[in-house]
Structure 1
Amino acid sequence: MPFKTLKTKRAPLTLEELAASIERRKAEWRAREETVIDMAELGGELAARREAGGIPQLPRNAGTDRTPSKQALLDEIAKLGAKW
């Protein structure tokens, strides 16, 4: 038989179980929304981990193989005063 019908063996949810499941998911999302990452603190932690792990400071790409469109984009960024 090439095709098989898949059937679930679970019993249907009651309204109470469904409501409880929805409330659990809402609580999970609220907990995620309340999580705020302080980027300055994270940067400090990462720098400390790199130093402790002996990871060297790698040089940035020299940028000698830029396409004309990429170079134009970087020139416009530089005009705005940002450093890329």
Structure 2
Amino acid sequence: MLRLGLLLLLIFLVFWAARGLVQDLKGLFGRREPSGPAPLSDELVQDPVCGVYCPKSSALSLTREGKTHYFCSEKCRKAFLEASA
């Protein structure tokens, strides 16, 4: 009876070790995700009113005295116009 218990324990340990080895090999040779943050596809601009950074392509813009200002929302754009009037 002791031999059967030891045999079952040995089988279990071999199975457990083999399963871990297979998972480690999958990790080494499997598909890897890129490390670090994804590169930005759009330039970030800072809102002069609230200081929030937003993508240039979705920001509202206003050109005054030859300088272009970018805003995160219409609320900030209006606040800028009121402050500079």
More helix by share: 1
Query: What TM-score results when the alignment is normalised by the length of structure 2?
Result: 0.31
Question: Which structure features the higher share of strand residues?
Answer: 2
From the CA coordinates, give the structure whose radius of gyration is larger: 2
Q: What is the TM-score with the length of structure 1 in the denominator?
A: 0.31
